[in-house]
Amino acid sequence: MSDNGDKLHILPEGLLHGMDARQALARGLALPLAGKSLAFTCAWLVHDCAGTGERSRRLLSATELRQQAGTDTLLADWLARLAAPRTAFAGIALDRPRIMGIVNVTPDSFSDGGRFSSAQEAVDHGRRLAEAGADVLDVGGESTRPGAAAVSVREEMDRVLPVIEALAADGLCVSVDTRKAAVMEAAVRAGARIVNDVSALAHDPEAAAMVARLGVPVILMHMRGEPATMMEHAHYEDAALEVFDELGQAIERAMAAGIARKNIMIDPGIGFAKDTDHNLRILRRLALFHGHGLPLLYAASRKRFIGEVTGVAEAKGRLAGSLAVAQMAFLAGAQMVRVHDVRETAEMAAMLHAIITRG
């Protein structure tokens, strides 16, 4: 945001990877994106004028962007955030595609609800996911699918704490998927290293202060409303730009509560208060989200929009579509994806990384 209230967004295009990116950067033909192994050759500049409400769009080359940034501090700040290398998150280096495996200890999650509802079943599942290539295990005890009912703090704790304790005791990196401050605290005490909050710390008024006190990394996901009612809020003029801005507000709230910027990862919240067209537009514009200068998580595994596009009604049958969107996310520079099918995603990510770095 500029001093006069005007707003700027940069939508990188012409993405290059690996050696292609490094050579284009060396020749001044591209600009870095989240480090030096990813670059973009041009970008759409979307400018909203506060005085008139008018929006303009211009496509500029890397050379033009660099030249204009010399006299435009707002643009220069944007380019600096886009370029900044992403540091390790919860001790995990972000130098290659990383995978978060889903461990739902719930009876009603949209894809695997009830499959791992006992603590031992969930622990065994988490261990299998780690062996299959998961870098993080995301343990959740409350379904946040559309229309899901809330779960009490006590019930959520009873579901997740034994699982977190066992997996953490194995030396595995565990995140807790919760919106509740009390669950966050108990989970971290049990060994969780990351808090993953689908409400971006907005659901529980104590959550942001709790995460700040605990000093642990947090994933801020975009959502409007509550899981039970969120689809009533799925109205956007431009989903990618509006989600970007609302995540920016969540980042500011988190930092105002005392959470260190280095401890924040963002997630655009695919499927949360978003329909199929919104989800596809966000994926197409995912590189935009590097404009916050923070690590990016993409979580779309088996979700409804994949079924709507592919015609696969059953969630567990959406592997091919899930791999396609995960690959697109990695190519756009997402540092981590959250998935059910860890082994298949890990194999895809390893192959993609080899093509980019060794091809």
Asked if 197 and 218 count as a contact pair (C-beta separation under 8 A), the reply is yes
* CA proximity to 227, closest of 305, 160, 140, 149: 149
Rounded Cα distance, 213 and 257, in Å = 9
Indicate if 7 belongs to the active site: no
Detail the DSSP E strand segments found in 174-330: 174-177, 194-197, 218-221, 264-267, 297-298
* CA proximity to 89, closest of 346, 336, 342, 357: 336
Asked if 16 and 41 count as a contact pair (C-beta separation under 8 A), the reply is yes
Which of 180, 303, 304, 318 does the annotation list as catalytic?
303
Indicate if 316 belongs to the active site: no
> Is 41 strand, coil or helix?
strand
Residue 204 Cα to chain centre, angstroms: 20
Residue 107's φ and ψ, nearest 5 degrees, are -90, -10
C-alpha angle 8/13/16, rounded to 5°? Answer: 135
Cβ contacts of 192 within 8 Å, gap of 6 or more: 139, 164, 168, 174, 175, 176, 216
Residues designated as active site: 303, 338
